[in-house]
Amino acid sequence: MIIPLQQSDIDTDTQESKVDIMALIVQKFGGTSVADTQRIRNVANRALKTHAQGNDVVVILSAMAGVTDHLIGLANEATKTPDRRELDVLLATGEQTTAALLAMMLKGMGTKAQSLLGHQAEVVTDCEYGNARILEIGTNRIKRLLADRNIVVVAGFQGVDIKGNITTLGRGGSDTSAVAIAAALNADICEIYTDVDGIYTADPNICPRARKIKEISYDEMLNMASLGAKVLQIRSVGVAKKYNIPVHVRSSFSQEEGTMVVQEDSVMEQLVVSGVTHDLDQARITLKKVPDQPGIAAKIFSPIAESGILVDMIIQNTRAAGQTDLTFTVPRADYNRAMETQKKLAEKIGAEEVFGDPNIAKVSVIGVGMKNHSGVASLMFNALSRENINIIMISTSEIRISCIIEEKYTELAVRVLHTAFGLDKED
Ligand code: ADP
Ligand code: ASP
Ligand code: MG
């Protein structure tokens, strides 16, 4: 028997369906799906079933839930500033463990299977330890194993640079491993198995009225991921879009259909606002009474850029008498470093004071339908003000509006915005 694929796998030009053709399916399982050996057995059963239906199967695994955090904790106990190369060697062991366990389980069940680490799967990356980018994937070894009817198990999140060093792809990077391997193999579909049964209009873990989205475009998912919806690592969505890989996000704990991430023109229903996101990985820094002169912004942001810190929002308010206040946001993990550079700089440029707040959050409403609708911003601001939630910063683009608020109001803000934009599911 051959597994039935999604509607989107049916070639609409020729009306030729892939349903009767053996498919190449990439299945990625996240940390909670491989949290213990019993759950890894569930993964084995699912991969086996897909394989027994006649498909070629490549499984990409994350580390067991909590393991990557635990390893980072150990590294920080070992030394204050862990060497980045050695940290990647350490972090890669999380995925090595689960890949080996799954492959030995599959072999024990009588199936041909083999585990491959990043370098064995020829996932070649640049040299940016901790946040490496995939440059190319040599598929020969995987293809040979598939041709010999193996289930190929690849350790996610890791690669190898051109000097042979182990690299990792940034938090959540197994998603990118999976989509990139699916693209390199020209797979029919990349299935992302996780602890929720699809992509929702807001994080279902904090917004009980969030609705599951049946189909979402690559662009909208790129926006949601960049604004805090960590269900897919943003780079995985970029790769999926570039190579037009259909991605199916679904639960590893049920058989239910999840959400298809596909090209925009194949998404049937387009709402004005399609989702609300929140991002707690934010911190704010303000420089007060900065001399308002040409070149001052360059002086402030150059040292931040040189330290590799990504600045997100920037607001400049002009004061009277040639002075200005400048506020910007950085990732929370970089807050202390960014504060240090700014305190040193403030003296040099004659700013009166530097202060900051690491306990802020960014809430955003997103939707390509916003392009043609007015009133979205005022609806958002009114909804927040009714709950007395103060807006600290605002930024907008054609298809999203983001507000920085106090962290303690995050859940409330997500819920009221979800209701205000008519996204709540019916009871
Ligand atoms: P995995 O370990 O399987 O990679 P992640 O924790 O990285 O899982 O991603 C799944 C989580 O993403 C969910 O548990 C959920 O809390 C969160 N999430 C945030 N926004 C959304 C959203 N809009 N839809 C679904 N899940 C979301
Ligand atoms: N184990 C890595 C992490 O926790 C990669 C992943 O799970 O995608 O970020
Ligand atoms: Mg993840």
User: In testing the pocket of ligand 2, which one of 62, 95, 123 has its CB within 8 Å of the most ligand atoms?
Assistant: 62
Atom of ligand 1 nearest to the CA of 31: 2
| Nearest protein CA to atom 8 of ligand 2, as residue | 172
Out of 29, 98, 157, mutate this one to test ligand 2's pocket (max ligand atoms within 8 Å of CB): namely: 157
Question: Hey, whose CA ends up nearest to atom 25 of ligand 1?
Answer: 199
Q: Name the closest ligand to CA 67.
A: 2
Q: Whose CA is nearest to atom 1 of ligand 1?
A: 30
Q: Which atom of ligand 1 is nearest to the CA of 229?
A: 20
Of all ligands present, the nearest one to the C-alpha of 280 is 1
pLDDT reported for residue 373: 77
Q: Which residues surround ligand 3, an ion (CB under 5 A)?
A: 30, 172
Distance 397 CA to ligand 2 centre (A): 30
Distance (angstroms) between ligand 1 centre and the Cα of 131 equals 20
Which amino acid is it at 398?
E
- Give distance in angstroms: CA of 194 to centre of ligand 1: 7
**Which ligand 1 atom is nearest residue 29's CA?**
3
CA of 173 to the centre of ligand 2 (A): 6
- Ligand number nearest to the C-alpha of 176: 2
Q: For a substitution probing ligand 2, which of 27, 67, 68 has the most ligand atoms within 8 Å of its CB?
A: 68
Could you tell me the two tokens for 386? Answer: 């009714």
- Ligand 2 atom closest to the Cα of residue 172 is 8
What is the CB < 6 Å shell around ligand 1?
Answer: 30-33, 62, 172, 194-196, 199-200, 202-205, 229-231
pLDDT tens over the chain, length 427 residues: 333 333 333 333 333 334 346 899 999 999 999 999 999 999 999 999 999 999 999 999 999 999 999 999 999 999 988 999 999 999 999 999 999 999 999 999 999 999 999 999 999 999 999 999 999 999 999 999 999 999 999 999 999 999 999 999 999 999 999 999 999 999 999 999 999 999 999 999 999 999 999 999 898 899 999 999 999 999 999 999 999 999 999 999 999 999 999 987 766 566 678 899 999 999 999 999 998 888 888 999 998 988 889 899 999 887 777 888 999 999 998 899 999 999 999 888 989 999 999 999 999 999 877 877 778 899 999 999 999 999 999 999 888 999 999 999 999 999 999 999 999 998 7
Residues with CB under 6 A from ligand 2: 30-31, 62-63, 68, 94, 156-157, 171-175
Pocket mutation for ligand 1, best pick of 196, 414, 415, 417 (most atoms within 8 Å of C-beta): 196
Ligand sitting nearest the alpha carbon of 156: 2
CA of 62 to the centre of ligand 3 (A): 8
From the CA of 33, the nearest ligand is 1
- Residue from 39, 68, 169, 194 whose mutation best tests the ligand 1 pocket (most atoms within 8 A of CB): 194
Res 308: pLDDT: 82
Contact predicate 81/31, CB 8 Å: no
3-state secondary structure the chain: CCCCCCHHHCECCCCECCCCCCCEEEEEECHHHHCCHHHHHHHHHHHHHHHHCCCEEEEEECCCCCHHHHHHHHHHHHCCCCCHHHHHHHHHHHHHHHHHHHHHHHHHCCCCEEEECCCCCCEEECCCCCCCCEEEECCHHHHHHHHCCCEEEEECCEEECCCCCEEECCCCCHHHHHHHHHHHCCCCEEEEEECCCCCECCCCCCCCCCCECCEEEHHHHHHHHHCCCCCCCHHHHHHHHHHCCCEEEEECCCCCCCEEEECHHHCCCCCCCCEEEEEEEEEEEEEEEEECCCCHHHHHHHHHHHCCCCCCCEEEEECCCCEEEEEEEECHHHHHHHHHHHHHHHHHHCCCEEEEEEEEEEEEEECHHHHHCCCHHHHHHHHHHHCCCCCCEEEEECCEEEEEEEHHHHHHHHHHHHHHCCCCCCC
Please give the pLDDT value at position 320: 72
